[in-house]
Amino acid sequence: MTITQFISEFQSRIPLAQAEDFDNVGLLCGDPSREITGILVCHDALEKVVEEAIELGRNLIVCFHPILFRGIKSLTGKNYVERALLKAIENKIAIFAVHTALDNDYLGVNYRICNALGLKEQKVLDPKKEDLYELSFQVPSEHKQKVLDAVFAAGAGSIGYYDRCSFSLEGEGQFRPRPGADPFLGDLGELEKVSEHRVAVILERYKKGRVISALLEAHPYEEVAYQMTPIVNDNQYLGLGRYGELERPMESREFLEFVKETFHVPVIRHSSLIGRPIQKVGVLGGSGAQYIPLALSKGIDAFITGDVKYHDFFQGENRMVILDIGHYESEQFVVGQLFDLLSEKFPKFAISKSRENTNPVNYFQ
């Protein structure tokens, strides 16, 4: 399998288009036509991780954080980013990053954190806005299923845990072919009336191009009547962060101990404790301080994230406990997640989890 084929297969489960606009996901370096000899999964593709890939004979590194995040004007090895990239390029090792494509996935980073905490009734904290469209089209009744099958195969009609979702109404369509037309039905200059279905399906923004292509390819008409309309509904199955409820309420100090044990962290920075038991818990792996007000508005009792600054802790307003367990620590499950996903999807590949701990933050106890 080539790297290009790998990326195509990978995106059938984690589409890179799910990533945030600011992010730099996908193939960061490497020849996309190269055959894969093995995969090394890591959190950060640092120089020592590239050396590990060389040692193991793996020529594709799948990392969570993109080692190349901002533009560079030269590549001389003057910093840790350039040294890693140089070593990878010189040894024909490709680097592929997933980052917020996995963060935003409904079964991604924050889903795994919630499961570690045993949270029930989970929901996305910040569902994607302006992400959903409704495609409606007319099609002759006898061709309805063929066209529907095509747009479903292109990704339309998926809502949460359901797929092949659509709605249709039967009616009568009419048209008159004019000179220059090559009609599928009817004759030039003659009014034609046809039994048609008007069909509607929902799809995400990034699927628009391929769904329209599938519709036009499968539809029998020379001119296809369709509408693509943005809808105001939030996409409840895509977005950053997550929240849910504990199996049972916990007192604040008991909850802190529970989090400390669950994430194996030596210390937790937190805001003032609240005077009631903790039941509803929100999480956002990585840097989530900007989502503190949103978590508070959801009635969340405790919010777990990383990279919280001094003034951010005041935003709990003594109504929500803010827990900073560390950036890396809050994302610690991603390597295992990626390894499991890749092992299931590519069972014939040699896939390894990196043994390197790339957390740049250390604690003196």
Q: Is residue 120 classed exposed, middle or buried when 0-12, 13-18 and 19+ CB atoms within 10 A define those classes?
A: exposed
Contact 34, 93 (CB under 8 A): no
Structure tokens at 282: 């929100």
Annotated binding site for a divalent metal cation: 65, 103, 327, 331
Structure tokens at 71: 């533009």
Cα dist from 288 to 143, 186, 194, 293, whole Å: 49, 60, 55, 11
Annotated binding site: 65, 103, 327, 331
Place of tokens 């279905």: 197
Nearest to 268 by CA among 278, 259, 279: 259
286: left (phi over 0), alpha (psi -120 to 50) or beta: left
Nearest to 105 by CA among 232, 217, 200, 239: 239
Contact 250, 256 (CB under 8 A): no
Strand pairing class (167-175; 132-140): unpaired
* Residue-level length of the chain: 365
Chain center to CA of 241: 11
Number of other residues whose CB lies within 10 A of the CB of residue 303: 31
Distance CA 285, CA 104 (A): 11
Cα dist from 297 to 66, 70, 202, 281, 359, whole Å: 32, 33, 29, 13, 32
Structure tokens at 132: 């959903």
Cα dist from 239 to 20, 123, 224, whole Å: 9, 10, 33
